[in-house]
Amino acid sequence: IRRKGMEYGATTGRPRRIGWLDLPALRYSIISSNVSKLVLTKADVLNGLDRLKICTQYDVEGELKEIPTTPEDFEKAKPIYREIDGWKDLKDGKFEEFVRMVETELRIKINYVSYGPGSDEIFER
């Protein structure tokens, strides 16, 4: 994913830390920042993957949590992933299923999807 998404520092070329979609962290950010609309960026980076992982909760020493609440819990937390089928391209019905699942989980609409570096490579949903 890092290579395909070109996730390297512009100046240093250092690899950026990236990971699978973390629904609990995103949900927390949406609530705490009073977000009302979302834009899904770099959607094309996931094209062609057979399977994707999505973090749905955390295991903290055998206890399932929406999100760890203390620094100690964060250190011990292990993400619990749901695996889903990937898609060939953004016209594939599996991509739309993914978007609807994310909207349902986050209880917020994804208004725009960008799929490339150009300012015209975006569509409204």
Residue with tokens 């089928």: 85
Q: 121 Cβ partners below 8 Å, 6+ apart?
A: 114, 115
CA distance 118 to 9: 19
Q: Where are the domains of the chain?
A: 21-52+81-124
Residue with tokens 């949903």: 125
What confidence score (pLDDT) does residue 82 get?
Answer: 97
CATH of domain 21-52+81-124: 3.90.170.10
Q: Residues 85-106: pLDDT tens digits?
A: 999 999 999 999 999 999 999 9
The pLDDT value given to residue 65: 92
Percent residues over pLDDT 90 in the chain: 76
